[in-house]
Amino acid sequence: NGILLTNYLATTHPSQPNYIALISGSTKGTNEDDKSNINRKTIVDLLEAKGVSWKTYQEDYPGNCNKKMDIDKYARKHNPFISFKNIQNNKSRCSKIVNSNQLDKDIEKNTVPQFVFYTPNIDNDAHDTNMKFGSNWLKKFLRKRINKSAFSKNTMFVLTFDEDDGASDNNKVLTVLFGPDFHPSSKQKKDNTKYTHYSLLKTIEDNWGLGDLGQNDKKANLIKL
């Protein structure tokens, strides 16, 4: 069950500002892939204010609030949470940035949080490989987990990319909403509405009644579910 968002646009180039935009509603504080330390609220503030559990699983991340740029196939630029001061300087929040190996443990213990942000490493996301490699990884990853009890009820998966390859003018990226218990109100398999990373942020906010961050999320198009 799923919907292809055929007109979903990334925010800018290069990678990192798109990740920053997705969880904070703005690219302010970063316009490159270098180390950023931003003083601004994020989706984490809204989730915690409403008691919604969260965690980000990062492939090859060493843990312990590590702020280094690149370690093995982990890239800090693809982990937006570590770039915000109110997460960096908060041990409780930092403890929710974990290596992706923790996901299977959480699945077995039935402790997967309500909001999950998963980032593959730079091979599995096709950044340093190719789309065939990334597609094969994704199939294997999902087949092993998608029907587990942690995900089989009241769960929507969102597959998206940070940016396109720079070859087009509109920065359109593949984005799909899906899940074994995802039942969209429309029977259409495609949605041609113009959406952005800010739309996804707004949709997350709307799902749990979180309010907004007062940034570009406020006026973004809400994704129709």
Residues annotated as part of the active site: 128
* 3-state class (DSSP) for residue 133: helix
How many Å apart are CA 179 and CA 158, to the nearest integer? 9
How many Å apart are CA 33 and CA 47, to the nearest integer? 26
**Residue 178: strand pairing partners:** 2, 157
**Residue 9: strand pairing partners:** 172, 196
Yes or no: say if 68 and 97 are a contact pair by the CB < 8 Å rule.
no
Yes or no: say if 67 and 47 are a contact pair by the CB < 8 Å rule.
no
User: Residue 108 corresponds to which amino acid?
Assistant: E
**Tokens 């609220």 correspond to what residue?**
41
